[in-house]
Structure 1
Amino acid sequence: MTRADAGPGRAATARTGPPRAVDAAGKEALDDYSLTPVPDEARHSWFSVAVQRFGQVSSFQQFMVGAVLGYGMTFTDAVIAITVGSVMLEVVTILLGVAGVREGVSTSVLARWSGFGRKGSAAVGMLVAFSLAGWFGVQNGVFAQGMHDLAGWAPEWAWAVVGGAVVTAVSVHGFTTMAWTAYLTVPAFLVLAGWSVADTLAGHTPADLLTGPPPGPVMSLAEGTTLVAGAFILGALMTPDMTRFNRRPSDVVKQTLLGVTLGEYLIGLTAVLLGHAARTADVVGIVTSSSGVLGTLILATAILKINDWNLYSSALATVNSVDVLVGRRVGRRPVTLVIGAAGTALSAVGVTDDFTGFLETIGVLAPPVAGIIIAEYYVVRRYRAVLDAAHRTGALPDRVPDWLPLSLICWAVGAFVGAQVDAGIPAINAVVAAFALYATAGRALRARRGGPAATTPLPDRTT
């Protein structure tokens, strides 16, 4: 039985229950259900979630990836690289997204019952929180530099403060406000960027762009596919943060096929053509320099519609880690304010300029987490019985071990494979290695313990 099956009963209880229960429900809603399952009455249409997913993959980052592909590959090879990388990402995204809509919780909370245990989920949360908070600062720094170059009438630190404050305000108000922001910024970005792209491509024949050789050093198909998959793997891991607001698993499939496919192909292939036409990988500079006002609006809409999710997911992960490690529940809103203020301050003083390389380095730790969660949730299924039983109450199980050593071993092996194995795609190698090892070892341990242990959680050693 899915959480949607039990929805009407819970909704009626919320409406007719005692005042204290109603107050608690209101606080959970205000907190965007950071540590509890999202109830049916708080779920959104698939379209509102799909627009935000599309906003994540139709960003300047995707433009930059496409431009690098176009600068070093033929158009045909770029299409193959985007196709292979996108298909692999979509598989991971859909599997994690369906788990998110079924359980109604964020990635870091889901990790408690998906292979990592309580304190293991805190480790996952800290990795995610630190990575996304860092990217929030980096993106805000890019915004500040671009706005300073385009407008010129204010120093970079001032633009960093303005940009960080706006994004923080949107993220503090939660999913609904972020959805309305996406309704405005996604179409605006597409229209404005399309205008600039059309201007850049004018004077070039389709034959030259589609069949011409790459203007820069040749990039192999493996390198191109790695670039596509690696650019969005952290976004794929955070899919449950978004899909917990969906109403049914089919919504996840629709929004992923629409958002990721259109984002990768529409934005990615357009940038490939730009790379061929401009004969440079600096497509961001091309787009933003096409017109002062136009470039300013493009940059503002591009950063806003992806950076709010960096901050939002970072706050969710932090709330879970604090709850586990300190034993104290903190609100998502104040945590968002603290992270947003810190990221804004660091970008204003320029500290985040040298942070990108470090973030990319620790990024090798993210893909194995996705493989472990998928393996536990769909293959080993040790905690699916207690999760399914919890659907009837609308609350998560209250018993889970602190650590599951198998997940730590698989995490380390997956990260090692992703970092050291040259063949294939590093991010996907890490996902597959962690998935295969956890699925195999988990099933073997399950068979060794016998039937009942397969669906009965380990005792909570902390109580």
Structure 2
Amino acid sequence: MAALLGRDDQALSRVPDQARHPWLSVATQRFGQTTALSQLLLGATLGFGMTFWDAFLALTIGAVLLNAVAITVGVIGQREGLSTAILSRWTGFGHAGSAVLGLIIALSCTGWFGVQTGLAGMTLATVAGVLPAPVWSLLFGVVVTVIAAYGVRWMAWTAYVAVPAFLLLLGWLVLTNVHDVGAALSGPAPGPSIGMLTAITLVTGSFIVGAAIAPDMTRFNRNERDVIKQTVLGITLGEWVISLAGVLLARGLGTTDVMGVISASGGWIGALIVVTAVLKINDWNLYSASLGLVNFFDAVFALRISRVQVTVIVGCAGSVLAAAGIVHQFSHFLVLLGVVFPPVAGIMIAEYFVVRRWRNEIISTRPYVPRSAPSWVPATVVIWPASAVAGEFLAFGQSSVNSLVLAFALYVCAGRLDLLRMRTRRATNRKVAEEAAVA
């Protein structure tokens, strides 16, 4: 137990050089995040309403946009070695803003952890024929919780096993269900037409949260080249391989009911497809949720709690909610919660690369964290929600891109107009950072 509690993965401090990972290890986990059922369902939606090549174009444009966000924010995380929530203290949000962001990350990621745990539980119950779905949900949730509690190294090994297994099973699913690939590639859309802008919106919306909180993962990269390689490989291949498999299934079978196809594929094969798809993204949902909560308690209550303990508590709570079926009632709320993340990326990018009001603080104190941070940034309090709302309701462009660009532009303007001046600061306890420096 003591060894487990020691696996804090620098939740409140910088990741030292000796704790960084090879790029392929991080890339496999990033690819694991995008090789998910949500990407397969996205592809099926596009394939049902678009030609194959139009769907391919939409996926490519969406991947380019997601790569741009994930790489830019991810480079900040790699340079500074800090999680998204902690990093935000010196990239435009201050102590109070980082607390709010950490709580939102925790709510969003815990919610999706519960949704996918419930999905895995229902699938396993159907296939096994013994034990009800709630019990399977609890068992699956406990397994994922243990993996996430042990940290990034265990999550890497999970990805090494689950990613190739999922790809093999998905390949089998496509080959056994799509008998005329030529017709699937060249035929018309089997369902109501989907416009290109709508399709791009669906693509970017499917992973914008993951792109915005990229520092949680890229803080373990060794250099900026590794960030670029693992992001491009993980996101682009995820969109092309997994989503295009969904496109082929929808066009070949004339349906968007991919889950029905998986269920009909037979017994444990269908169950393994679902389990391997959910396992390698759900551990990261739980991991990011724990990082967000650790930051929240530190920022609000000056209370330092173990990431492992938080992971166990949140994992058990999410599993219970999944077993009770409660979490599925909040799926629309979770989707709505996702609109707050693009402006976060816009503000962080603007502060770190353009405005640079607090950049020198965070750079000059390496390998520690700065002694203090702004208590709160009033301009961000206005820019963040205003950009999120405006991005959703603007009649042109793509909502995620609109809100990100708007937040970026407004924050830069606030910096140029000297609206970011702060009079109050809050001290940062350096103990954890000093321990990380010699880890």
- Same-fold call, TM > 0.5? yes
Corresponding letter in the other structure for 2:130: W
Q: In 1, Cα distance between the equivalents of 2:264 and 2:238?
A: 23
Report the secondary structure of 1:400's partner residue: strand
Task: Using the TM superposition, give the Cα deviation of residue 210 of structure 1 relative to its aligned residue in structure 2, in angstroms.
Answer: 1.4
Pairing of 1:115-264 with structure 2 (within 5 A): 115-202=92-179, 204-206=180-182, 208-264=183-239
Instruction: Say if 2:405 is the partner of 1:429.
Output: no
1:51 aligned partner, one-letter code: T
1:343–1:227 Cα change, 3 Å = same
Distance 1:350 1:267 in 2: 28
Aligned equivalent of 1:40, options 9, 12, 17: 17
Query: Which is greater in Rg?
Result: 1
Partner of 2:417: 444
User: 1-side partners of 2:427 and 2:236: how far apart?
Assistant: 45
Aligned partner of 2:322 among 344, 347, 362: 347
Superposed displacement of residue 423, structure 1: 1.7
The residue number in structure 1 matching 2:61 is 84
Shift of 1:29: 6.0
Aligned length: 426
Shift of residue 462, structure 1, vs aligned partner = 6.9
Q: Distance in 1 between matches of 2:358 and 2:24?
A: 31
Aligned match for 1:418, one of 346, 368, 391:
391
2:248 alignment partner, one of 260, 266, 273: 273
Percent identity over the alignment is: 47
Aligned to 1:329: 304
2:23 counterpart of 1:58: no
Shift, 1:180, TM fit: 0.6
CA distance in structure 2 between the aligned counterparts of 1:403 and 1:182, rounded to whole angstroms:
38
| Matches for 1:280-429 after TM superposition, within 5 Å | 280-391=255-366, 394-429=367-402
1:385-433 residue CA offsets vs partner (Å, 9 max, x unmatched)? 1111112xx1100211111011111102211112211322111111111
How far has the Cα of 1:443 moved from its partner?
A: 2.7
Of residues 277-286 and 31-40 in structure 1, the stretch that sits farther from structure 2 once superposed is 277-286
Q: Is the 8 A contact 2:31 2:238 kept in 1?
A: yes
Q: Distance in 2 between matches of 1:205 and 1:386?
A: 56
**Residues 181-239 of structure 1: per-residue CA shift (max 9 Å, x gap):** 1001001110111111111112x141x11121111111111111100000100111111
Query: Residue 335 of structure 1: SS of its match in structure 2?
Result: helix
The answer on whether the counterparts of 1:108 and 1:320 sit within 8 Å (CA) in structure 2 is yes
CA-CA distance at 1:284 after TM superposition: 2.5
Structure 2 CA distance for partners of 1:62 and 1:401, relative to 1, 3 Å: same
Contact 2:4–2:308 (CA under 8 A) maintained in structure 1? no
Kindly indicate whether the alpha-carbon contact (under 8 Å) linking 1:186 and 1:301 is maintained by their aligned counterparts in 2.
yes
Work out whether residues 134 and 352 of structure 1, in 8 Å CA contact, stay in contact via their aligned partners in 2.
yes
Q: Against the structure 1 CA distance between its residues 458 and 83, is the aligned structure 2 distance closer, same or farther, given a 3 Å change threshold?
A: farther
Q: Any gaps of 5 or more consecutive residues in structure 2?
A: 429-439
Please, which runs of 5 or more residues in structure 1 have no aligned partner?
Answer: 1-25
CA distance in 1, matches of 2:22, 2:426: 40
CA distance in 2, matches of 1:211, 1:108: 46
Offset of residue 459 of structure 1: 5.0
Residue in 2 that maps onto 1:101: 78
Q: Is the 1:400–1:458 Cα contact (8 Å) retained in structure 2?
A: no
Q: 1:325 to 1:302 in 2, by over 3 A?
A: same
Q: TM-score, normalised by structure 2?
A: 0.94
Give 3-state SS (helix, strand or coil) of 1:281's partner. coil
Asked whether the equivalents of residues 151 and 296 of structure 1 are also in contact (C-alpha less than 8 Å), the reply is no
Larger CA deviation: 148-157 vs 226-235: 148-157
CA distance in 1, matches of 2:35, 2:92: 32
Query: Paired residue for 1:460, among 405, 425, 432?
Result: 425
- State the shift of 1:316 in Å: 0.2
Q: Secondary structure in 2 aligned to 1:442?
A: helix
RMSD between superposed Cα atoms in Å:
1.7
> Is the contact between residue 288 and residue 299 of structure 1 (CA under 8 Å) also seen in structure 2?
no
Q: CA deviation at 1:332?
A: 0.2
Partner letter of residue 93 of structure 2?
F
C-alpha distance in structure 1 between counterparts of 2:6 and 2:43, whole Å = 39
**In 2, are the aligned partners of 1:193 and 1:287 still within 8 Å (CA)?**
no
Equivalent pair of 1:150/1:289 in contact (CA under 8 Å): no
